[in-house]
Amino acid sequence: MTESQKKENKEEPINKVVEEQKEVTIKVRKSIVVRCGGSSVGSPEAIEAVVRWVKQEIHKGTKIVILASAIPSEREEMINFAQHLHPNPPAEHLNELTKYCDAKSAQMIAIALRRHSISFSVFNGEAIIIKPDPEAKVVYQIKPDNCEKMLHRIRYKLDQNVIVCSGFKIIEGKNKINTTVLRDSNSSAVVLAGLLGVDICIINTSTDGIFQVDPRIVAGARRIDYLSYHQMSRFAYMGARILSSRCVELAASLGVVVQVKLSPALGESRGGTIIGPFKLSSFSEEKGPSRGMAIQAKVVRFEISGSLKKLIASLPDICLIDSAIYSEAGGYVIVTEEDAEEVRRRIEKKNFKIKKEANLASLTLIDWQMLSNSGYINKIVEVLDKMIIAVTTAGDAISILVKRENIEKAARILAKTFSLVK
């Protein structure tokens, strides 16, 4: 690896999450919002398992709001179908299509609840508008004006029934609807939890929490019991995609404690990962791991001739795995393959010249206590050698770009080198 391949000290993204270092006690879980989508609604057996879990929680006295979201494959099929009809489908039509997919999951859950004689009410929510806080006291201001009456009805019904919701897409400004926003049901669950004032927001996933490294790629990965908003925000920003960075910023803005855990459809959770303020009773950052690694098996690099700063400003909802400015007239961004088409559209709208490079993957090592990264870089270069295409650094993170065929091998080597496995 040559010195030209090491692009160190890239422009570091602004860390939006601001935390107060105060002690906060997690309440006894008397009311929850739980997000159920994907594997939780993918089959009759999956929905049945979720409803059995709901029944157990009801017997404990828990008040439950279920936010149903679409099976991802069905939602993507709808979006792809629309894109064959129109290269840039109008946002309002995409929104209605995805609302239909979400509502379908909600009705399937309602059918299962009825079979178990569980009282429920179903609500189809409207979009909730958010905007950055100009005074920077919180990341976002939440404006639920258009659905305040519905939120009031949900609070009223919650005393007697399980609530099943769909919709409530979180939109930054009235016209900023896009495919990235429509996929982000976790943000909807977090905002709904904050507006309803419940004790915790549960995100059901295919893994039992946040791990130091993806357990589906690296065997023996350690689960993290607790992450602060700041830690999770950095993890998400660098590509750990269970929660988006926007979702974590919204949780911090509203003070929502989030639990990421295994879906009941896939087995029994061991507790998952709690994400919350800087300090929580029963949790301590000193007890937890100090580093993690975000893996993106499919990324795309766009080399750009134009103002990269202006482009990045137009991508607030996109997870930028990496970016670097060469000069006033050029640079590159690296995004996930999932976001690549949306990014390409926005680049072309600005009439920038682009060069697209696919067949890439990225690994980002994040050390929340990192004081100096020079030792890390030397070790990474030593153990990965010719697999490395580029290495960049930003504060507490080091990103490594490799070919896709090398991602699993590189991930296992780094996980062992930096003690991310048991």
Beta-sheet strand order (sheet of 170-172): 140-143, 128-132, 170-172
Do the domain assignments include residue 172?
yes
Do the domain assignments include residue 422?
no
Assess whether 390 and 315 both reside in one domain. yes
Do the domain assignments include residue 174?
yes
CA torsion 303→309→311→316, rounded to 10°?
120
Assess whether 175 and 53 both reside in one domain. yes
CA torsion 174→180→181→185, rounded to 10°?
170
Which CATH number covers residue 341?
3.30.2130.10
Assess whether 312 and 276 both reside in one domain. no
- Please, what is the angle between helix 407-417 and helix 374-384, to 10°? 130
Count of structural domains, the chain: 2
Which domain range does residue 394 map to? 3-14+290-417
pLDDT in tens, the chain (422 residues): 444 444 444 444 434 454 444 444 444 468 999 999 888 998 999 999 999 999 999 999 999 999 998 887 887 788 888 888 988 777 778 778 888 888 999 999 999 999 999 999 999 877 776 766 655 555 556 666 667 888 889 988 998 889 999 877 777 655 454 555 556 788 889 999 998 999 999 999 988 999 999 888 999 998 998 998 988 888 887 767 688 888 898 899 889 999 999 999 999 999 899 999 865 544 444 455 668 898 988 999 988 887 777 777 777 667 777 777 766 677 888 888 888 888 888 888 877 888 888 899 999 888 766 645 567 788 898 999 889 998 888 777 888 999 999 999 999 999 999 888 88
Assess whether 132 and 208 both reside in one domain. yes
Do the domain assignments include residue 194?
yes
**Cα(414)–Cα(235) distance, integer angstroms:** 16
Contact between 226 and 283 (Cβ < 8 Å): yes
Encoded tokens for 188: 């909807």
Given this model, what pLDDT does residue 285 score?
44
Do the domain assignments include residue 29?
yes
Do the domain assignments include residue 236?
yes
Do the domain assignments include residue 285?
no
* Spatial CA neighbour of 128 closest among 146, 105, 150: 146
Q: What are phi and psi of 215, to 5 degrees?
A: -70, -15
Which CATH number covers residue 204?
3.40.1160.10
Assess whether 275 and 338 both reside in one domain. no
Assess whether 101 and 235 both reside in one domain. yes
Given this model, what pLDDT does residue 5 score?
44
Task: Choose one of 229, 253, 280: the last residue of a domain.
Answer: 280
Given this model, what pLDDT does residue 346 score?
82
Angstrom distances, CA of residue 130 to CA of 113, 168, 246, 339: 32, 12, 11, 21
Given this model, what pLDDT does residue 172 score?
67
Assess whether 89 and 183 both reside in one domain. yes
Assess whether 374 and 272 both reside in one domain. no
Assess whether 113 and 240 both reside in one domain. yes
Assess whether 9 and 63 both reside in one domain. no
Assess whether 33 and 124 both reside in one domain. yes
